[in-house]
Structure 1
Amino acid sequence: MKRNKRMIIILLVLVLIAAAIWYFRFRKEENTLTLTIEKPHYGYIGTSVMATGTVQPVDTVVIGSQVSGTIKKIFADFNSVVKKGQLLAQIDPSLFIAQVQQQNATLQQAKNNLVYEQANYNRQNELYKAGAISKAELETAQNAYKVAQDQVNGAAAQLTSAQKNLSFTNIYSPIDGTVMSRAVSEGQTVASSFNTPTLFSIAKDLTKMQVRAAVDEADIGNVKVGERVTFTVDAFPNDVFNGTVQEIRLQPTVSSNVVTYTTIINAPNDNLKLKPGMTANINIYTEELDKALLIPAAALKYTPDAATAKQFKVAPYTPMGKGNTAGNKPAGSSGDSTRRKTDSTGNPVKHGVVWLKRGDSLVHKWIETGLTDDINVQVVKGLTENDEVVTAQQVESKGTSASASSGDRSPFMPQRRGGSRSGGSSNRSGGGPPPR
């Protein structure tokens, strides 16, 4: 009797083990498919070109010295605000004063010699008229008189040059501005024999800056004068600065086989936050729309598959411009999500296909698209704000979810954090335009 009870218990345990193995291993799991739905919405969209550049003053004057000598005194330093005509530095004038005195003495000697030669010429002229001397002697006196005149003129010119060199020992500011750099110190010798030494660099107006952007040759075709620009600098990562494209220089710059074009961007700097030499991260907006009908770019990439057809009625795929009986593709097959045609003016017109959820059915629709920023796409024609556009799908099984395209997941792999995105309409509004 006891043996029979033991056998019955063993059989029950085996049946339970077999049922558990079948349930956890061989039972086909029921999967639930969830669609991610978004409705078209109005918002801002724009295309931009990214570049880097350097912040610089609009007008910078480099001040040098036309004479050589030792810096005797400096009257301006870094960041000094100077006015036009203000004395910045002085070169030791001792040698130049001596040269002026020497040339002044030479001029005086030439004048005295001119007085003597003039008197001698007058005297020789009277003797020639009286027949006391020959004409050759008169011409000799006349030549000496003219040479004396030229010597006076030459000495006067040399004196003027010496006086001018003396005036060059005082270095004045040619403009109103701010001293950006000072390259000399008191006691330092400057030599202008071969080139003009740089003493100061003065920025005319730091409230008006410009950014020299290096735009890649692949993007320069979309950049035009007058387009809006925003940029940031590392010193103020939370501040967005505005500017305008002023000039696109035609001379290319080649570095490591990369061709770029210098683009000048005007940028106001009323608060003086921008400093010369800062590196700017630039966005040049080539096209912008403030009120465009938008859908996610993922909607143009979505295509229903076989799993979708099990829970929804998927309409047959029909190529654009063909009837329902020609060229149909089964649901789940991949096709061109965008096709190009040309309008009456010859410009390319972009088209794309999206899938709409209507009750328990999925139908595709060809639309005309415009601008795209790789996140959103402008809908020019084909959709309304009430359409439910499918952007993705997810398969849920026993509390875990996976993308329909993700494939089987190993049981030894850790699960991703967070649950799956739920279906239903998204009321996400379009992103606003960048700060203007």
Structure 2
Amino acid sequence: MKKTLIYVGLAVLAMAVIIAVVKVNKSNSKPVKKYKTEQLKKMNIVNKVVATGKVIPLEEVEIKPQISGIIDKVYLEEGAIVKTGDLIATVKVVPNEQSLQSARGRINSVQIQLSNAKTQYDRNKALFDKGVISSQQFEASQLSYNQAKNDLRNANNDYQIIKRGSAGSGGANTNIRATASGMVVEIPVKKGYQVIQANNFNAGTTIATIADMKKMIFEGKVDEAEVGKLKMGMDLDITVGAIEEEKFPAKLNFIAPKGVEESGAIQFKVKGDIRIDSVKQMVRAGYSANASIIIEKKDSILSIREALLQYDKESKKPYVEILVNKEEGKFENKDVELGVSDGINVEIISGITKDDEIKVWNKENKKDKKKDD
């Protein structure tokens, strides 16, 4: 009985050894996983910041009415070229009834004063001619009479201004004229629109906007992560969406000191003067545009794709895996020093040479996994 148990135990042990040997042989027979490799290449790398925005005129002048009323006629259309003093529109005055009645009452009051002053003047003149009163008394009555006539004239003018918008026949207040030369880029009113003059409580209604279309600027926004890299005077390459295959050179001349939050991110306004002298096509106000601001540029430098980089979990230093044994598929970690980057490619300053083969992390195929299993 004991011998039988011994034989059974030996048989089980032998089977276990055989299974272990088979597994080892099977594992040793697995093919070596192969990875693609890349080497350093000479590239031109440009590190730049892209700002999105629009093209607008450097100077825009809003034309406001000098008096409230209703637009009677608009003489120009958007796109018209005007000079200072050109007539843009006319306004028909709609008088305030209370102000009108007050002006009428003032006229009546001044007329009474004038009648009384005239009576005194006529009486004193007759007495002065007879030598009854002194010249001083006569001149005082004459002064009162002249002041009363002047007051009546002013009261009538005030009444006409309230009623018609002008005291004379020229209609200076009702004629809306250009206060600057340029192109009319916007006329937001039409005949029949009610307009309000500018005052202490209201900016007034804009009749037209005039701009010099030969002086344009780019106005855009840059994220807070990039604004620290910008400096005044940097070169900009402006690309306008509506004008294909055309780049406009510009200079960065403004960086906002305060950011504005938009969709959870802080954005800073930037501006740049655009040179459009050589552009044949008209650059219209409000075109959407992108500005490329070159931070750093290097030509023909040894670089790799940033996708090949890895970072140490503890030190956070960058490294790559270098092939050291092709037959066994062994790789070795090499720390690298990085230079300029454009987000896709990065300069390698030191750590590896142009002959080193850098590991490319391939995705394993499902067929390979099944074969390994």
Give me the TM-score of the superposition, normalised by structure 1: 0.56
CA 1:185 to 1:288, structure 2 compared with 1: closer, same or farther past 3 Å?
same
The 1-side partners of 2:32 and 2:334 are apart by: 28
Aligned length: 318
Task: Indicate the SS of the match to 1:48.
Answer: strand
* Structure 2 residue identity aligned to 1:168: N
Q: Match for 1:279: what amino acid?
A: S
Report the equivalent of 1:203.
211
Provide the secondary structure at the position in 1 that maps to 2:285.
coil
Q: Deviations over 1:362-382 (max 9, x none)?
A: 776554322222322223456
**Matched residue type, 2:34:** L
Gap regions ≥5 residues in structure 1: 1-24, 303-332, 339-351, 395-402, 414-436
Q: What do residues 192-238 of structure 1 show as CA deviations (whole Å, max 9, x unaligned)? A: 26653222222221x43223212233332222222233354443565
2:287 is aligned to 278
Which amino acid in the other structure matches residue 176 of structure 1?
A: S
Conservation of the 8 A alpha-carbon contact between 2:235 and 2:251: yes
- Structure 2 match to 1:88: 88
TM-aligned CA deviation for residue 247 of structure 1: 0.9
SS in 2 for 1:33: coil
Alignment of 1:15-414 (within 5 A): 28-31=29-32, 33-41=34-42, 43-91=43-91, 132=132, 141=141, 144-145=144-145, 147-148=147-148, 151=151, 154=154, 158=158, 162-163=167-168, 166-186=171-191, 188-192=192-196, 196-205=204-213, 207-236=214-243, 239-269=246-276, 270-272=279-281, 274-290=283-299, 292-301=301-310, 336=315, 338=317, 352-354=318-320, 366-381=335-350, 387-393=354-360, 403=362, 406-407=363-364, 409=366
What is the CA–CA distance in structure 2 between the aligned matches of 1:180 and 1:411, rounded to whole Å?
Answer: 66
1:355 touches 1:389 (CA, 8 Å); kept in 2? no
- Structure-2 separation of matches of 1:248 and 1:61: 24
- The alignment partner of 1:219 has SS state of helix
**TM-score, with structure 2 as normaliser:** 0.64
Do 1:299 and 1:390's aligned partners in 2 also have CA atoms closer than 8 Å? Answer: no
Structure 2: state its 5+ residue gaps.
1-25
- Residues 356 and 390, structure 1, Cα contact 8 Å, conserved in 2: yes
8 Å contact kept, 1:227–1:285: yes
Contact preservation (8 Å) 1:354, 1:365: yes
1:202/1:357 CA distance change after superposition, 3 Å: same
Q: Distance in 2 between matches of 1:134 and 1:334?
A: 112
Whichever residue aligns with residue 172 of structure 2, its letter is: S
Quickly say closer, same or farther: Cα 1:292–1:28, change in 2 above 3 A.
closer
CA RMSD of aligned residues (A): 4.7
Q: CA–CA distance in 2 between the matches of 1:262 and 1:288? A: 24
Offset, 1:68: 3.7
Contact (CA 8 Å) 1:124, 1:141: kept in 2 or not? no
